[in-house]
Structure 1
Amino acid sequence: MNQTQSPTLPIQEAESPILSVRNLTTSFRSDDVWKPVVRNLSFDVPPRKTVAIVGESGSGKSVTSLSIMRLLPKRSSYIEGQINLGGQDLHTLSDDEMRRVRGRDVSMIFQEPMTSLNPIFPIGKQIAEALTVHKPLSRSEARAEVIRLLDKVRIPNAASRFDEYPHQFSGGMRQRVMIAMALASKPKLLIADEPTTALDVTIQGQILDLIKTLQDEDGMSVLFITHDMGVVAEIADECIVMFRGEAVEMGPTENIFLRGKHPYTRALLSAVPKLGSMTGRSLPLRFPIVDVLTGDMQPQRDVIDTVAQTKSPVLSVKNLTARFDIHSGIFSRKTAAVHAVENISFDLFEGETLSIVGESGCGKSTTGRSVTRLIEPVKGSIVIDGHDVMALNRPALRRMRRSIQMVFQDPFASLNPRMAIGTAVMEPYLEHGLGSRRQAQEKAADLLEKVGLKADMMRRFAHEFSGGQRQRIAVARALMLDPKVIVADEAVSALDVSIKAQVCNLLLDLQQSLNLAYLFISHDMAVVERISHRVAVMYLGEIVEVGPRAAVFENPQHPYTRKLMSAVPIPDPSRRTLKRELSVDELRSPIRSLKYVPPVREYREISTGHLVLLN
């Protein structure tokens, strides 16, 4: 797109915009050359409205918000254009004047609240500081106002939590604390930079509802930055689609969703899984992929049913229990235990995907690590490809792990940054003594091609790849040992929407060609519905509902299953005014006393294979 033809959201005739950005260009110094990463961007944020900037990693949306707040490093960044907030050009303000504007006139909340909150100060003191910087308040006045703000953002028992520290709050409650801090001085504009991306689906729904409610109560404007088109549909009045530093499309959200013209807009929309779109289908379904440059739909192939449940399961788990001891006191005695997984059972067959879903803390990741004995279960039976996992000694356990491999959420953390990716992919093959180095290189090159990369990339390092490419590398490494089962622990949760669709399609293709079984661990109900054969819903360490994917999604029986499904954002602009009124209670603690005896649980069979826990 020609820079001089960048689209602009029109100024509202009735009222002047709260924020007006004109011809914003932000450049970064690289090798003594200034390289623009945001080019010629112009838009307005009207009073009491929400404008969303949507795009994937590298599109320039977060740089735009940091440019508005003037939070970019001066030595390595250069900002051009006009940024007008309430009639004041922020670009012309001194550093001291800009510090007074931040928090008072415009506030910002970030994606990860734990990196924004100081871990050594109580949250009440941190919010009070945001107040007293702009207002002369006594200690008692500041405390009263902080408690009022905590109540306002729906934190239960606000007065008693004033002196608690960030680590004592869940992720969703920490984000509420950040919102309270941002609202402390009643700003005209709130900038929310991916505030729900790292949160569970129910917590995300609560935060979206909260922002809508606070906007209605206080009349503030919101600039919402996200890569999730479902979130955009539910919260934004107007939408700006960014691609490679430019605004490629702008307009009312309804127009963007129903009449979006740019290929990238259509690509983003096509990649969003829609809850309920699998009604009437028994098999998983690949994600439609649209070329971001041409708008052409890539050809799709049907998923063939490779599950043969007449055979013995490749993974069988019976009465699995995993607990973590809590020690306290001078002598560090065992005083309690975290009941992370409590007496769960399931089977997994060749060519099948069994998804385990639930919020953070429900025990799903502990389940995945327990079946591989990365965590030692307290009791239970685990049989993988005929091996009694609980009875294996260390050498035998090491050999058994050739049959089951894990793909983790953050591939960058699981790849050695000092090791070329070819070496990282070959490492398990060589460590298990399965062949020569030449054979390892040939197999690694073949697998990299199979996961959509090129063999000549083997000499590159992890930092030279995008997040989606690193996840493909992690999948290739897991396949080096020809496993029967892959445990995918939130393997697509941190990826952009189109990259997530590509990796999910890759997993489906590999399952079909290699007859792999997946234990797919996720909190994303819409993705789970798309790729699963069966689904198990976990809550507080227990499976509360399990069954064929169609049965669970089309006829959910447990209240927690229904809660998870009702919280999923749906890419439908007509739902923008909808508020789910989800409970703000935090997930109950799984910590139990040493005398605690778990109750005997019973399940009711709703239909063939569809079981629900009786309360």
Structure 2
Amino acid sequence: MNDVQNQPILAVENLTTSFHTRDGWKPVIRDISFHIDAGETLAIVGESGSGKSVTALSTMRLLPRDKSRIEGRILLEGRDLLKISEAEMRAVRGGDIGMIFQEPMTSLNPVFTIGNQLAEALVLHRSMSWREAEAEALRLMERVRIPAAKDRLHEYPHKFSGGMRQRVMIAMALACRPKLLIADEPTTALDVTIQAEILLLIRELQKEENMAVLFITHDMGVVAEVADRTLVVFRGDMVESGETGRIFANPTQPYTKALLASIPRLGSMGDARGPRRFPEVDLTTGIASEGLEMVRTSPETKPVVSVSNLSIRFDLPHGRIHAVENVSFQLHPGETLALVGESGCGKSTTGRAIMRLQKPTKGNIFIGDKDIADISGQELRRLRRSAQMIFQDPFASLNPRIKIGDAIKEPMLSHRLMSRSEAKDRVATLLSQVGLSPDMAERFPHEFSGGQRQRISIARALALSPQVIVADEAVSALDVSVKAQVSNLLLDLQAEHDLAYLFISHDMSVVERISHRVAVMYFGEIVEIGPRAAIFDNPQHPYTQRLIAAVPIPDPSRRAIMQPADSPEIRSPVRPMDYVHPTRQYREVSPGHMVQLDDHVGAA
């Protein structure tokens, strides 16, 4: 009896998972062993492609049976999951084991409402009536801090932002109070304040239910905050494991040292005037290159983008969403303006409006001397050559049936800029510019890693030689070393082509290194804007202060003192149809540093 009580919730022994290829069975993880006790958190860390997610999918038996082979033992409270029937495994999934998947949009069914999908899991695994399940679904949505949860319960996934969809996935995974929670990059799409709240929520539920947590991430700051023990994997092999404090304080393997050296740390800019390149780390030796400062040399010029009093609203049956309100800023050639704020604050909507992918309710957007609100047809097509977008999800923005060379070539041919042979040569040049081999043009998107797909998206954005690029969470889903490479690539391209970037991000450590100026958005409004150093060294608005304070620090010894501050009440962006937005006042703190006087953080 005592042995049963002391056995771990999950014990993985000599796990080897292979995929069937043309050359036979190819192992992608080899002899992985670990255990997780009740109430304990184990983090698995490593590069994309190292086998982290395959380990989780093997545990859940979610890999295609005809293309994969799982060897070893996976014991859930002593019961070997590799030996039970598929019907028994279905009861385990969502019941005894909950999983938060990395891609919330592809994990949610687009034809069912959010409330329906949450309630279904509760009816299946907790034997609730449909009415009870809907009431519990609402409570779960409120617990993961989804604003206006009652109104949004019956909305479809496409109406939620990436961060909001991730919160829904977390609610769904926790709905049945599992014995084991597998969290695969659960906070990647979330801003730092919501990330801090979600991590705290998972810890609270872990204490209440004595739940074991398998946490898969590339964010070493998150590992430092949540993990009791850490397992480091590299190209399918375990390279180091142990107590998290020991791993951070005294890593023994070069790869672990490389992971820790790759972390962008808040406050590391010193007195740099311009952005600073990220140190790039050799993963086999752990040696980091120096992060050189990128000083902007171009003189002050006319802005390439001018946004004035931009407002975007969406009508609902019983109200109106004020997604963006009275936003104004300018963007000059060779400059990076970072737009930061929590998911749902209007960052991406603003970026899409600049591309005319979203029509403004009122206000003006000038690209050069053309107001994009007043143009259409061929004139709009010509103007779009000046502005291009790098989307948050590179896989979703690439057609899976089209070779990447053709995807990059398409805009050049569509705008009739050159012949097919010239476009083919241009594709080879662009692929080389972004650090890929020209012969990769013949491959399809699924044959690339996440970081490579993001490079392809950058190459496609450069195809028309634009003046401005809207980068919407362009590096948020990348692991630390690839994030450094892609960020440095953006900086190098900016210096070479005098590009202007609107850099939309929730990663404050990356924003500090890559931006010239920063605009902080809160519920559709810019509450603070100014030079990068002014925002980070002297934040004035309460929300900016909270945003910077919530950035995870990669130091396990600080975990006890780095608790999230009490969050304000959840505000709803939905207003009555006759609501008139108040006029906000700003004061100038220092040259170019403006802060909103109306403190509406937490206002109802």
Report the TM-score, using the length of structure 2 for normalisation.
0.87
For each residue in 1:319-352, what CA deviation from the matched residue of structure 2 results, as whole angstroms up to 9, or x when unmatched?
Answer: 22233344x5xxxxxx754332222211111211
For each residue in 1:504-546, what CA deviation from the matched residue of structure 2 results, as whole angstroms up to 9, or x when unmatched?
Answer: 1000011111111111111222211110000001122211110
Partner of 2:601: none
Shift of 1:271: 2.5
Partner of 1:368: 351
Q: Is the 8 A contact 1:122 1:163 kept in 2?
A: no
Q: 2:121 aligns with which of 126, 129, 134?
A: 126
Shift of 1:52: 0.7
Distance, in Å, in 1 between the alignment partners of 2:503 and 2:152 is 39
Distance, in Å, in 1 between the alignment partners of 2:434 and 2:141 is 49
Partner of 1:534: 517
Partner of 1:332: none
Partner of 2:430: 447
Change (3 A) 1:42 1:601: same
Partner of 1:596: 579
One-letter amino acid of the counterpart of residue 122, structure 2? I
One-letter amino acid of the counterpart of residue 376, structure 1? K
Q: 1:555 aligns with which of 525, 533, 538?
A: 538
Q: Identity over aligned residues, as a percent?
A: 57
What do you get for the CA RMSD once the two structures are aligned?
A: 3.2
Q: Is the 8 A contact 1:123 1:162 kept in 2?
A: no
Distance, in Å, in 2 between the alignment partners of 1:486 and 1:341 is 20
Shift of 1:145: 11
Q: Is the 8 A contact 1:279 1:550 kept in 2?
A: no
The alignment partner of 1:444 has SS state of helix
Q: 2:463 aligns with which of 475, 480, 483?
A: 480
Of 390-399 and 539-548, deviating more is: 390-399
The alignment partner of 2:442 has SS state of coil
Of 489-498 and 169-178, deviating more is: 169-178
Shift of 1:438: 3.6
Partner of 1:178: 172
One-letter amino acid of the counterpart of residue 595, structure 2? V
Q: 1:313 aligns with which of 293, 298, 303?
A: 303
Distance, in Å, in 2 between the alignment partners of 1:558 and 1:420 is 47
Distance, in Å, in 1 between the alignment partners of 2:144 and 2:357 is 38
Of 456-465 and 285-294, deviating more is: 456-465
Q: 1:257 aligns with which of 232, 248, 252?
A: 248
Q: Is the 8 A contact 1:60 1:242 kept in 2?
A: yes
Shift of 1:487: 1.2
Structure number with bigger Rg: 1
Partner of 2:266: 275
The alignment partner of 1:203 has SS state of helix
Change (3 A) 1:67 1:402: closer
Distance, in Å, in 2 between the alignment partners of 1:102 and 1:388 is 53
Shift of 1:74: 3.2
For each residue in 1:217-267, what CA deviation from the matched residue of structure 2 results, as whole angstroms up to 9, or x when unmatched?
Answer: 333322211222111111001100111111111111122222223232233
Change (3 A) 1:450 1:573: same
Q: 1:396 aligns with which of 375, 379, 384?
A: 379
Distance, in Å, in 2 between the alignment partners of 1:157 and 1:439 is 51
Change (3 A) 1:67 1:414: closer
Q: 1:36 aligns with which of 19, 23, 27?
A: 27
Shift of 1:547: 0.4
Of 246-255 and 107-116, deviating more is: 107-116
Distance, in Å, in 2 between the alignment partners of 1:222 and 1:347 is 45
One-letter amino acid of the counterpart of residue 530, structure 2? G
Report the TM-score, using the length of structure 1 for normalisation.
0.86
One-letter amino acid of the counterpart of residue 82, structure 1? R
Partner of 1:218: 209
Q: 1:580 aligns with which of 541, 564, 574?
A: 564
Q: Is the 8 A contact 1:122 1:166 kept in 2?
A: no
Q: 2:78 aligns with which of 60, 69, 87?
A: 87
Partner of 2:196: 205
Distance, in Å, in 1 between the alignment partners of 2:374 and 2:13 is 67
Q: Is the 8 A contact 1:535 1:548 kept in 2?
A: yes
Q: Does 1:468 align with 2:462?
A: no
Gaps of 5+ in 1: 1-11, 329-334
One-letter amino acid of the counterpart of residue 70, structure 1? R
One-letter amino acid of the counterpart of residue 419, structure 2? S
Q: Is the 8 A contact 1:22 1:40 kept in 2?
A: yes
Gaps of 5+ in 2: 599-604
Q: Is the 8 A contact 1:150 1:158 kept in 2?
A: no
Change (3 A) 1:475 1:77: closer
Change (3 A) 1:593 1:153: closer
Change (3 A) 1:418 1:103: closer
Q: Is the 8 A contact 1:153 1:180 kept in 2?
A: no
Of 119-128 and 42-51, deviating more is: 119-128
Shift of 1:147: 8.1
Q: Is the 8 A contact 1:273 1:526 kept in 2?
A: yes
Of 358-367 and 84-93, deviating more is: 84-93
Distance, in Å, in 2 between the alignment partners of 1:408 and 1:139 is 38
Q: Does 1:346 align with 2:329?
A: yes
Distance, in Å, in 1 between the alignment partners of 2:139 and 2:309 is 45
The alignment partner of 2:186 has SS state of coil
Of 566-575 and 383-392, deviating more is: 383-392
One-letter amino acid of the counterpart of residue 607, structure 1? S
Distance, in Å, in 2 between the alignment partners of 1:173 and 1:161 is 16
Q: 2:488 aligns with which of 498, 502, 505?
A: 505
Change (3 A) 1:410 1:153: closer
Distance, in Å, in 2 between the alignment partners of 1:62 and 1:559 is 37
The alignment partner of 2:33 has SS state of strand
Change (3 A) 1:98 1:440: closer
Shift of 1:158: 12
Of 243-252 and 368-377, deviating more is: 368-377
Change (3 A) 1:195 1:182: farther
Q: Is the 8 A contact 1:114 1:174 kept in 2?
A: no
The alignment partner of 1:458 has SS state of helix
Change (3 A) 1:214 1:161: farther
Shift of 1:393: 4.3
Change (3 A) 1:117 1:366: closer
Distance, in Å, in 2 between the alignment partners of 1:462 and 1:261 is 36
One-letter amino acid of the counterpart of residue 126, structure 2? L
Change (3 A) 1:410 1:180: closer
Q: Is the 8 A contact 1:369 1:375 kept in 2?
A: yes
Partner of 1:244: 235
Distance, in Å, in 2 between the alignment partners of 1:152 and 1:270 is 38
One-letter amino acid of the counterpart of residue 308, structure 2? K
The alignment partner of 2:175 has SS state of helix
Distance, in Å, in 2 between the alignment partners of 1:215 and 1:425 is 46
Of 201-210 and 32-41, deviating more is: 32-41
Q: Is the 8 A contact 2:15 2:32 kept in 1?
A: yes
Change (3 A) 1:80 1:371: closer
Shift of 1:596: 2.5
Partner of 1:49: 40
Distance, in Å, in 2 between the alignment partners of 1:157 and 1:342 is 18
